[in-house]
Amino acid sequence: MNINRRTFITYSSMLGMGFLTRAPSTFAVPAAVKPAPNMPAPEFVDTNGLKMAVYEKGEGIPVVLVHGFPELAYSWRHQLHSLADAGFRVLVPDQRGYGMTGGPDGAENYTIKHLTDDLAGLLDAKGIDKAIFCGHDWGGSVVWSMARLHPERCLGVIGVNTPASRPPNLPPVENHKKRLAVTTGNYYARTFMEPERPERIMERDVEHTMRWVFQTGGNIWNREKFAQFPEDSAERRWDALTMIERGTISGEQVNTKEELQYYIDTFEVTGFTGGLNWYRGGRHGREVWKTAKWDIDVPCMYIGAEHDTILEPLLSEGMEDFIPDLERHIIKGIGHWTQSEAPDELNKLLIDWLTRRFKEASS
C-alpha cells in the first residue's frame, strides 16, 4: 500500500501500525544519563506511571515544549531561556522512552493516549490547570493531539514543522500539491516500525547516526537538490535506514561539537527503542479516537520550514478548515531542525504570538 505524508501524519497520531519489539528492562537508566548542560537542574515528577524529568524556568503563563525523534528536552535549549526571559513559565520534559525519563517495555505502552496522558499528568503534578503546548516533529503530533484528547488542558497549540492532521470527516484539500518525497514500504516511518532492525542499524555507531540525523542543507534538506534524485532513490523515498547505513553525510551540522556530544552520550546509554516505539505504538489504543474532539477551537500557530522535505509546508494546507483561530509562518532557508537552525527567528515568532495572544489578552 502506498500512502502519502498527509495520511501518515493522520494515522501516526490516530490509528497507525506497529510491531512489538525486544527491549531492555528500561530504555533509559536515569542514574546513567546526565542532565542536559546549560539548562536548569531537572525535576522528576510523577505522571502516568513515569518519573518524568522536567526542566523548568520562569514564571507566568505556562508553556510546555515537546520534543520529537530522536531528540530530547535539550532540543529546546535555545527556546527555554528566551521564553522564560519573556515572562513565561516554561516546562520542557524528556518524554516517555527518552533521556532521563525512560519508559516501560512494549510498544503497547507508547500509544498517543499514553503520550498525551503523560503531559496532562505533568500539569497535574505541577498544579497547572491549562497550558500552551508547543511541539516539534513527533512532538507536534502530540500537542495537536492534546487539543483533541485533552482540550480542557489547552490554552493554545503551536506546531513547529508539524501540521495538524485533517479530521477524517472532512474531504481532501482541493488542488493539493504533490509532495517531493515518495512514500513506499521503505519510507522511514514504516521501517522504524520493524522489530530490531532500526536499533541494529542506528546503535551500531551512535555518533555517526546522530551526525547523520542532525544535518541540514546538503542533499536531503534542500528542496532543489532533493528534487533532482530519481523517485526510486533512497533519498526521494526517505529510506533513512539505508541512508544511515550508506554513511554519506552531505549537509552541515546543526549542533556544535559539545551539543552533539550530549545527544551521543545520552543515546549511547538509552538506545533508540523508546523513541522508535512511538512509531510502533500506533496499532494500540486506537479506540481513543472514537470520542476525540476533531475541531480545534483554541488559538493555534503553525511554523513551517522551507526546506523540510518530510514535513513539507504544503502539508499544512487546509488546517483553517478545522482550526478557526490559526496563524501561519514559514521560516525560509532551513530544513527540519528548526529550534537549532533558526533559534532567533523561531524565538521571535513564539514570543510575539504568545505575548499578543495570551500576555496582552490577560492584562
Query: Higher-confidence residue: 150 or 14?
Result: 150
Q: Which three cell numbers stand for residue 222?
A: 534542500
The pLDDT of 127-150, averaged and rounded, is: 98
Q: Are residues 103 and 96 in contact, defined by beta-carbon separation less than 8 angstroms?
A: yes
Q: Identify the band that residue 30 occupies on the pLDDT scale cut at 50, 70 and 90.
A: low
Residues 6+ apart with CB under 8 A from 258: 37
Among this protein's residues, is 137 annotated catalytic? yes
Q: How far apart are CA 301 and CA 353, in angstroms?
A: 8
Residues in the chain: 363
List the single range of 23-32, 101-110, 162-171, 280-289 with lowest mean pLDDT: 23-32
Threshold 0.85, pTM exceeds:
yes
Q: What is the DSSP string of 37-89?
A: TTSPPPEEEEETTEEEEEEEE--SEEEEEE--TT--GGGGHHHHHHHHHTTEE
Catalytic option among 94, 117, 137, 239:
137
The pLDDT of 20-45, averaged and rounded, is: 71
pLDDT digits (tens, 9 = 90+) for 207-235: 999 999 999 999 999 999 999 999 999 99
pLDDT recorded at residue 170: 96
| pLDDT surpassing 70 at residue 1 | no
Among this protein's residues, is 344 annotated catalytic? no
pLDDT recorded at residue 363: 65
Q: How far apart are CA 158 and CA 241, in angstroms?
A: 30
**3-state secondary structure at position 308:** coil
Report domain extents, the chain.
5-177+283-362
Helices 138-149 & 112-125 angle (0-180, nearest 10): 70
| pLDDT surpassing 60 at residue 12 | no
pLDDT digits (tens, 9 = 90+) for 317-327: 999 999 999 99
| pLDDT surpassing 90 at residue 18 | no
pLDDT digits (tens, 9 = 90+) for 247-267: 999 999 999 999 999 999 999
How confident is the prediction for the chain on average, in pLDDT? 91
The pLDDT of 98-126, averaged and rounded, is: 97
Count of C-beta atoms within a 10 Å radius of residue 171: 8
Q: How far apart are CA 335 and CA 307, in angstroms?
A: 4
CATH 3.40.50.20 is the classification of domain 5-177+283-362: no
| pLDDT surpassing 80 at residue 113 | yes
